Amino acid sequence: MSKKPVYRATKSLYGATALGSVCVAAALVVGLTRGDTGEESRKEAGSASSAPRGGAATDGSDGKKPEEEKWDGKVHVLGDGSTSYTGPQPNVAKPEKLKPGEKPPQFVVFSWDGALENDDKLFSHFRQVAKANNAQMTYFLTGIYLLPKADRKKYLPPRHDAGEAAIDFTSDAHIKDTLAQLSGAWREGNEIGTHFNGHFCGKGGGGEWTMDEWKKEIEQSYSFVQNWKTNTGFKNLDPLPFDYKKELVGGRAPCLEGQKTLIPAAKEFGWRYDASSPGDFQLWPSKIDGIWNFPLQLLPYPQSERQVLSMDFNFLYNQSGDNTNGDPAKRPEWQKLTREGYLNGFERVYNGSRAPLFIGNHFETWNGGIYMKAMEDVMKSVCRRDGVRCVSFRQVADWLDAQDPKVLAKLRTLDPAQAPDWKTFIK
């Protein structure tokens, strides 16, 4: 289990004082129009390598993405047997270019920071919820969750001592359980991204790291996945069914800190997107220096004129502050407000611009698990609606890359609730 969050006062993106934690920087702003958001004011595991990786054409293979490679139908075990190449990922739809007059799909991305299967069994539970509701998701794996506590000094964090982390290392049993969930999730078409490793925020954290320090952290994110058999000694377990060098194409930084120096580091690994932006309006995505920017988004908070970032922790902060075990009598109402807040954001774009909705989560039981229950209700409500695709960040990037750049530029001119005449808008 994670250590109890350490809270600190921080300056939000919008110039207001907000609460931050080892989970995410919380922000709550006033106003429902774009102009009101304040955007005007706004040798073991870790030697860094400049060798590009990821699903781009510079991944060191034959210049093709994994799904384009010719596969011989055999399992190719890699390295020490921790990972393997089993062919293109199954159960992933091929992106299609919008036709003239066609309404864009409504993409919804449910993403999970940490991706640990612990005693709460939330990883396995939400895999079942996703399958039952025709959904696929992104799991941002924390690398040290595959590193035994006894070998913690193999982790060499930037600006910290060997083996130091702001979260707890997990048990051997939980490592085995997490490996099983990662394998199953990938085969179901879910994405395995990264939440990096030590979860450092604030002083000495990612917001202060240089590009080279981020490269060191990224390199270890690969290593803990590619070498878990060496690190754990679990030689009798099957390898993960994917080549992480090719599958890892994006991540979310702890506390949403450090994107400025993270993006140039990510580019050197061939990554295609970053989900570390600390919040934005519900607009069609754009790129930062060639990398798709997939931020958390500002959603209308029910029964108010406020907006809240689209992550479970931010709803928690606006309901019980820094107390993750708030008043039980208020939890039913908080759960209802959380569910309605997500649905408010969904309905605004579903009936408007069709901009993708990005939702961030943690496998946590804060306030009695109400945020998990709200999220399950939202998935059941939206993922089977007409025109909705609950997919991973990687699949959104695939779709965006398949579109005419002029069409995407036009989509970015729409306000979230603005529904054009799609028959004439897309030409």
Q: Which of the residues in the chain have pLDDT under 70?
A: 1-69
SS3 per-residue string spanning the chain: CCCCCCCEEEECCCCCEEEECCCCCCCEEECCCHHHHCCCCCCCCCCCCCCCCCCCCCCCCCCCCHHHCCCCCCCEEECCCCEEECCCCCCCCCCCCCCCCCCCCEEEEEEEEECCCCCCCHHHHHHHHHHHCCCCCEEEECHHHHCCHHHHHHCCCCCCCCCCCCCCCCCHHHHHHHHHHHHHHHHCCCEEEECCCCCCCCCCCHHHCCHHHHHHHHHHHHHHHHCHHHHHCCCCCCCECCCHHHHCCCECCHHHCCHHHHHHHHHCCCCCEECCCCCECCCCCCEECCEEECCCEEEECCCCCEEEECEHHHHHHHHHCCCCCCCHHHHHHHHHHHHHHHHHHHHHHHCCCCCCEEEEEECCCHHHHHHHHHHHHHHHHHCCCCCEEECCHHHHHHHHHCCCHHHHHHHCCCCCCCCCCHHHHCC
pLDDT of residue 279: 81
Position 69 scores a pLDDT of: 63
pLDDT at residue 72, as a whole number: 87
pLDDT at 66: 43
Delineate the domains of the chain, giving CATH numbers in brackets: 43-425 (3.20.20.370)
